[in-house]
Structures are given as structure tokens and as C-alpha cells.
Amino acid sequence: MSVTDVVVTGLGATTPLGGDVASTWDAMLAGRSGVTPLTAEWAEQLTVRIAGQLAVDPSEVIDRVRMRKLDRSEAIALIAAKQAWADSGLEGSGLDPERLAVSFGSGIGGAVTLLNQDDILEASGPRRVSPHTVPMLMPNGPAAWIGIDLQARAGVHSMASACATGSEALSLALDIIRSGRADVVVAGGTEAVIHPLPLAGFASMRAMSTRNDEPEKASRPWDKGRDGFVMGEGSGALVLERYDHAVARGARIYARLAGAGITSDGFDIVQPDPDCKGGIRAMTKAIQDAGLTGADIAHVNAHATSTPAGDMGEIKGIRAAVGDHPVITSTKSMSGHLLGAAGALESIATILAIRDSVVPPTINLDDPDDRLDLDVAAHKARPLEIAAAMNNSFGFGGHNVALVFTRV
């Protein structure tokens, strides 16, 4: 390890599987689904009536007065970030705020606030619109609130790269620390857009599963019966820290963020390149950045969203960039697709897979696609010694991010 290496010293999450990292990880290892029916009256008119809804509502964690000032995506970002901060042991450590940065994004941002306030405007007029509307709908809101809460003064950065957002936030954090601009970065992603308009929009694209009668079986990456992704909500946060800084304070280190690769397809606004050319380049760059070869990667947490087109293209990409040896999985089979938060949550799962020497399962893989020629940890968690693992995130617009984590 070099003194300039970047390590993970704190984890936080609130997801459809649990209100924190421990409960979420336990659910993943047990192969439990967090996808449930939508019971709101507005859902009755939709063709998609299922989602990965939060296991713990943020109003149970944040007081009512503060919740009125926060979009749901901001609230859960704060919850995850505060968990990660507490987990890192940095609270009360005397860290110089000018050496602390935030890198946190959302794929869609405060859309629910925007839509709800528009309803109020139409029904009751402009005087009834909340004075908190703009800070609640700002896409940089989650990052800004985290920066204010932690008094981070080395920079607060926000990105919006669709479903690659959370991973791109981690990649930027890696660059910030490597360049010497900060010693510690709180990084991750958040999303909370379970609302009729986003659901109807995705459904109109035929991108989402309509398996409403069996919600727990709807997300089924690589299965012949897959019919689209399942929207989820949640947030994942990681504390990244310069290695020598972490060692000097006696921090518990989960893993090393060893490398990152970012590319773009230049292909289509929603369709992935069927040959995964951009994904292959991202994976290759991440492996090279980590100073490794494909043979070193024992496990891949795949982007695999349970769509007919995307899943198999990624299989081609993993085989080309990494090889046919890694054990792969898609934890979206359990959590649903957290959009801008997906990369952060799945990075946490990748890190814990390294720590615990186990690959979480891909559930619902009952009838594998005939083209699936890689080893998937199907149905049950798989014990596996993992020195290095990769997490993939791809997003609408052709965003590709691959991250490589290693044991310390």
C-alpha cells in the first residue's frame, strides 16, 4: 500500500432491504427481495404497480420540522451519509473541514418535490407553494445538505449521470484525494422518485417489469423471463480516505478503492451498445488504474438491471475485459434498481463481499438465458476468497463507470 492510496473507512445506507448497511447486507445474503406492491391510490391507474420501497421511512429518522425542508432524496442522502460518517470514527476527530469534501449525486433529483409543488400551484395558487421548493428540487441539494451537516469546506460536488451517478461520485472522490485536494471525501448517490410520472414515463418506454402479481420475482437479471427493471429508492454513502491519514488515526479499513474507469458510448440516449464497447473500455481502464490484470478480478457485481437488451451485452463485456473466471452477481435482483444510488449501494455490496469472502446471490434466476456463459452466484450466497472485485454501473446517455476494490 502507498500513502496516497484511497481506502474506505465508513459505510452507510438506507434501502428497500433495510434501514442501514447491516440489515441491507443481511437481507442480500439471505436472498430476500425488497420489491413490494404500491398501495397508494394513484398506483391503480399505472401499468407498473410495484417498486423497491424503503424499508424504513426517513420520517422515522429525521424530525418533522426538518423533513419539511427536504426532498425525500435529500433526506435519505443525509441519513446514509451520517451513518457512514459515524461508522468511520471521524466524528469528533478534529479533522480540518478544509480537508473534507463531498461527492454525491442523484440521477433525477428532486422530481417529486417539483411535481407535488406544481400540483399545489395548479390547485391553490402561487402563494401556497413552499418557500423551500427550490432548495428541495435542486439536483445538488443532497450533496449540499451533506456538506452543511458535516461542515465540509474542501468542495461539495454533485453529478447527474443517470444510473452511473453513484459510481461516478466515487470515481470523482478518488481523484480528489489522489490530487491532494482533500484527505477525506463522503461520496455516494441517492434517489427517491417513486411517483406516478416517472413510473409512467419508464413504463411507456417498456423499460420496466409489469410482473405486478409477483413483485418479489419481478427483478430477474439474466433470466429468460425478465421483462424490465424494477424501480427502487434509497441511498448509499461511503467515506473515502487517504491511506496514511486513515492509518495515522487507527481507522478500521474496509477495502481499498484501487481503480476507476469512466467512458461514454456515443451510441444512443437510452439503448446500450449491444457489444458493450464502452463498458469494456471502462472495465479495462479501471483494472489498469488499479495496477491489476483481468485475472486478478475474482468477483463482479454487475450492472444487470433485468432488461432484455442490457443484461447480455454486459456479459459480453465482462468476458472481454475480465475473462470467464469471475463469479458474478446482480444485487438488483433483490433491491430493485436504485437509479442514481445504484452504484453506491452496489459498491458497498462489493466491499462487503471482499470483507466477508462471500458473493451475494442473484435471486429469480430460474431459467437462465441461453447466452449466459459466466458463473453466476444464483439463488444462494457463494463463499469465495476475494482479493479484488469490480462493480459496474451504466446509465442512460451511454455513461459507463467501473470501479475496482481490493482487500487491504
Q: What is the pLDDT of residues 124-177, one digit of tens each?
A: 999 999 999 999 999 999 999 999 999 999 999 999 999 999 999 999 999 999
Residues 295 and 228 placed together within one structural domain of the fold? no
Q: What is the mean pLDDT of residues 292-314?
A: 97
User: Catalytic residue among 114, 163, 173, 374, which?
Assistant: 163
> CA 234, CA 106: separation in Å to the nearest integer?
11
What is the pLDDT at residue 343?
Answer: 98
Same domain for 17 and 162? yes
Q: What is the mean pLDDT of residues 238-250?
A: 98
Mean pLDDT on 81-108: 97
pLDDT of residue 297: 98
Q: Cell digits for 169? A: 461520485
The verdict on 305 and 390 lying in the same domain is yes
Residue 258 counted as domain residue? no
Q: Sorting pLDDT into bands at 50, 70 and 90, what band is 4?
A: confident
Q: For the residues 22-37, what does the mean pLDDT come to?
A: 98
Does residue 222 lie in a domain region? yes
Mean pLDDT computed over 181-205: 98
**Annotated catalytic, 163?**
yes
Question: Do both 288 and 233 map to the same domain?
Answer: no
Q: Is residue 284 pLDDT above 80, yes or no?
A: yes
Domain range for 206 is 7-248
The pLDDT of residue 215 is 98
The answer on 208 and 177 residing in a single domain is yes
Which pLDDT score is estimated for 405? 99
Task: Say yes or no to pLDDT of 3 above 90.
Answer: no
Instruction: Report how far apart, in Å, the C-alpha atoms of 56 and of each of 44, 144, 178, 208, 307 are.
Output: 23, 23, 36, 24, 28
With respect to residue 223, please indicate whether it lies within any of the assigned structural domains: yes
Give the mean pLDDT of 254-271.
Answer: 97
Tell me the pLDDT band of 109, cut-offs 50, 70 and 90: very high
Identify whether 402 is part of a domain: yes
CATH number (domain holding residue 168): 3.40.47.10
**Domain identity same for 292 and 151:** no
The pLDDT value given to residue 1: 75
Rounded distance, CA 5 to CA 128, Å? 51
Total tally of structural domains belonging to the chain? 2
Closest CA to 365 of 350, 383, 380: 380
CA separation, residue 14 to residues 22, 190, 206, 357, 380 (Å): 10, 9, 28, 23, 23
218 and 89 in a single domain? The answer is yes
pLDDT of residue 229: 98
Q: Indicate the pLDDT class of residue 2, thresholds 50, 70 and 90.
A: confident
| Final residue before a domain boundary, out of 217, 248, 279 | 248
Q: Is residue 253 part of a domain?
A: no
Q: Could you tell me if 335 and 234 lie in one domain?
A: no
Note the pLDDT of residue 81. Answer: 98
Q: Could you tell me if 181 and 211 lie in one domain?
A: yes
Q: Is residue 26 part of a domain?
A: yes
Mean pLDDT over 344-356 rounds to 99
- Answer yes or no: is pLDDT of 295 > 90: yes
Instruction: Verify that 220 and 146 share a domain, yes or no.
Output: yes
Q: What percent of the chain has pLDDT over 70?
A: 100
Give the separation between CA 4 and CA 291, rounded to whole angstroms.
14
Q: From CA 77, how far away is CA 233, in angstroms rounded?
A: 11
Q: What's the mean pLDDT in 116-131?
A: 97
279 and 357 co-located in one domain: yes
CA distance 297 to 80: 28
Residue 113 lies in a domain: yes
192: left (phi over 0), alpha (psi -120 to 50) or beta: beta
Note whether residue 56 is domain-resident: yes
